[in-house]
Chains A and B, each alone.
Chain A
């Protein structure tokens, strides 16, 4: 993408010997919804703070709509943020909170009032305009925080775990509203979260970070269906990994030799004989049977536990070599299975449903060299 709207190029930040962000590069298109996700301490918030100018990057550049902004002070960046704590000004009314940014930009009285009224109306908080923000519910406060930023007509809106203060029901409701709002406005959103459901249901593209590094960037489907690394597979969840050595001929009939036996590989272009790789299989693609001989790739397991998850049940299995697998089955399939905890079962899947993780191959093939 050459004409990216928001471009981050090689951003890095360390605190003493602690590397918060090792290298972050991303081109974001106008109106794109980006979610940055990862466990705490992965560098997602530091990245967002560098965008807002709250942290100075050690290296790298940020360009917004063609202008370089990484040298600008916070108050000149025009990258308003919705904070995790919301950070509403507690001694001000809703109106005063929303008009704060306009005042700071020297927008005159009537124009200011019009824009504030417009946004209060749009987010359905006009009735509370003159109320102190301390006397609002969680959802209302959330709207004030949004209105306060959006009233500035920003080119990009930064959101730092904005829904974490809400109860689960309200958070889901606000997710829907956020997505609609973002579509209607066409503003670029950069959304930091540790929640899968928020990232996957909201974002056009998801960035997964760990230990200051970007693990994978892709659409929610991409990441969900084809995690690139072991970390992403485990972070996304519901994926079983099997380690083994590649064996067999190059013309298709490849298989993986694991400690629990051989399994057949499909889509194995580029794999070389004897290479150690991780095979990933999604939980919903694994079938579990009591008797062997049902599938192509079959591994004998012990049923460790059943985890009820609504319409489906997660079966935790252990292979003879002590490896864990997760299979997701329908409730009625479980009834037919007729196996109790500790029973011997067989896990099988179609070769097309297994895929080899890219990252493991890179790191094992040769020590990965990172650009400085």
Chain B
């Protein structure tokens, strides 16, 4: 809080303001959770009762289950590749000094800032040229592009805490470069790698625009939801929304917990 405002407004004001912001942010999501358990066909606040019928309906809807399967597959493969690429890029930036390093770093972090529609369209044009448009692999390739920078950013933060002499010290004691990497750098970066995997998984799992452009008939969950919504107002949407939100929230919370529990712990840079 800026000092000149400190005595101007009471603390309660700031807390109330913060609460309001969170309420506005999460109210729509909470309403989806609420209505997913409603017994009624249409969302309305005077609910006639509690029901899990929409959950049962979604879990027996073959199209939805297939979309879920697609989403999980794409997200898992995307997360694997994006995390590997992200770590490699972060390590290169940490370990080596080379000409144009800053430019390379900027380029590597750029993709998430490109508007998704443009990215999706460009991807579609490119994928159809090389003949993979409309496949799940196309979705994976496109998702890796937007997810890898997140993985890189997370790994960079962790690597920045690693004393650079440790890897050299390992080599000095007879470790070849690959064993020094495996025994010193990887164990240190592991929490970040795990976090990066979860975050990139979540990024891919929730992504709609690019999946819609490049996936063709292979729908992921967000695409399937939007397709359903275009035809009708279906209460199963609330169920899918709730489930997707839970999955994403869980992944992000685990990632946060992993990163927070490790920073400042025994594995951080030595004080001496």
Binding site for B on A (CB under 8 A): 52, 54, 73-81, 83, 85-91, 100-101, 104-105, 132, 134-135, 138, 141, 148-149, 152, 165
Contacts and interface: CB of A to CB of B under 8 A. Distances in A.
A12 B174 CA distance: 25
B209 to A, nearest CB: 41
A81 B171 CA distance: 11
22 contacts: A52-B172, A74-B168, A75-B174, A75-B176, A76-B174, A78-B174, A83-B165, A83-B169, A85-B270, A87-B163, A87-B169, A88-B270, A89-B166, A90-B269, A90-B270, A91-B266, A100-B175, A104-B175, A104-B179, A132-B266, A148-B173, A152-B173
B267 interface: yes
Interface in B218-253: none
Interface string B169-202: 1111111110100011001100000000000000
B168 A54 contact: yes
Contact of B169 (A81, A134, A141): A81
B272 A90 contact: no
Contact of A149 (B163, B166, B173, B268): B173
Given A85-B163, A87-B165, A87-B166, A141 B174 contact: no
Contacts of B267: 90-91
A303 B133 CA distance: 91
Q: Per DSSP, are chain B's interface residues mostly helix, strand or loop, or mixed?
A: helix
Given A74-B171, A90-B266, A90-B269, 16 more contacts: A52-B172, A75-B171, A80-B173, A83-B165, A85-B165, A86-B270, A87-B163, A87-B165, A91-B267, A100-B170, A100-B175, A101-B174, A104-B175, A104-B179, A138-B272, A165-B272
Contact of A104 (B163, B173, B269): B173
A91 B158 CA distance: 14
Closest 4 CB pairs of A and B: A101-B173, A87-B169, A104-B174, A87-B165
A327 to B, nearest CB: 40
B165 A152 contact: no
B172 A74 contact: yes
A135 B265 CA distance: 12
Contacts of B187: 91
B4 to A, nearest CB: 42
A89 B272 CA distance: 13
B173 A90 contact: no
Interface residues of B, number: 24
Nearest to B179: A104
A152 B166 contact: no
Contact of B172 (A80, A85, A91, A165): A80
Given A91-B187, A132-B266, A86 B173 contact: no
Contacts of A74: 168, 171-172
Nearest to B175: A104
A73 B267 CA distance: 28
B197 to A, nearest CB: 20
Contacts of A85: 163, 165, 270, 272
B272 A141 contact: yes
Contacts of A101: 173-174
Contacts of B183: 100
Contacts of B166: 87, 89-90
Contacts of B174: 75-76, 78, 101, 104-105, 152
Contacts of B163: 85, 87
Contacts of B169: 81, 83, 87, 89
A135 B158 CA distance: 21
Interface centre among A73, A89, A132 (most CB of B within 10 A): A89
Given A89-B166, A91-B188, A91-B266, A54 B172 contact: yes
Interface in B251-272: 266-270, 272
A166 to B, nearest CB: 9
Nearest to A164: B272
Nearest to A81: B172
A200 B268 CA distance: 36
Interface centre among B173, B188, B272 (most CB of A within 10 A): B173
A149 B174 CA distance: 10
Contacts of A88: 270
A87 B173 CA distance: 11
Contacts of A91: 187-188, 266-267
A86 B269 CA distance: 12
B266 A75 contact: no
A115 to B, nearest CB: 14
A213 B163 CA distance: 30
Contacts of B176: 75, 104
A52 B169 CA distance: 10
Contacts of A81: 169, 172
A277 B93 CA distance: 54
Nearest to A104: B174
Interface centre among A73, A74, A86, A141 (most CB of B within 10 A): A74
